[in-house]
Amino acid sequence: MPLTIPLNEKQVDLLRHLYRQTGPVLCDNLDGRVVRALRSRGLVQQKGDWLSLTDAGKAEFEKLRRRRVASPHAEVASPRHARAEAIIRAVEALELALPRDAELKVGDMLAYADDVVEGLRGFARQLARAS
């Protein structure tokens, strides 16, 4: 039975980013270590300077996303960590509901939904680290 090493946070972030895109992404600003790790697992393919998800990559991300949203009773170390986990689950549920390239009104400003979701995800991670 093969040992499956779980994807780390940066690998999941890149899968999420590629999943939300409508086409391939330029590799210039991507972390090469993360790209190589995902490519070695067959989750992404690189053609020239462009990176895109494989069918296996899409399936893996959808599996991770469903598992994360459906598992609200994860063990938590502290109330702050529990709050961070709740925010992450809510953000992932929101991400499922938002169409690609959507814009949201935040206060009086329009913002891309991806940027709002990423900001909320970053806040939750910062909250979890502070605990």
pLDDT digits (tens, 9 = 90+) for 25-80: 999 889 999 999 999 999 999 999 999 999 999 999 888 877 665 555 555 556 77
pTM of the model: 0.63
Flag whether pLDDT at 118 surpasses 80. Answer: yes
Q: Which pLDDT score, from 0 to 100, does residue 131 have?
A: 61
User: Tens of pLDDT along 85-115?
Assistant: 888 888 888 888 888 788 888 888 988 888 8
Given a contact cutoff of 8 angstroms between Cβ atoms, the answer to whether 35 and 51 are in contact is: yes
Quickly state the pLDDT bin for 3 (edges 50, 70, 90).
very low
Residue 34 pLDDT: 94
Q: What share of the chain is helix, strand, coil (3-state, %, to 5)?
A: 60, 15, 25
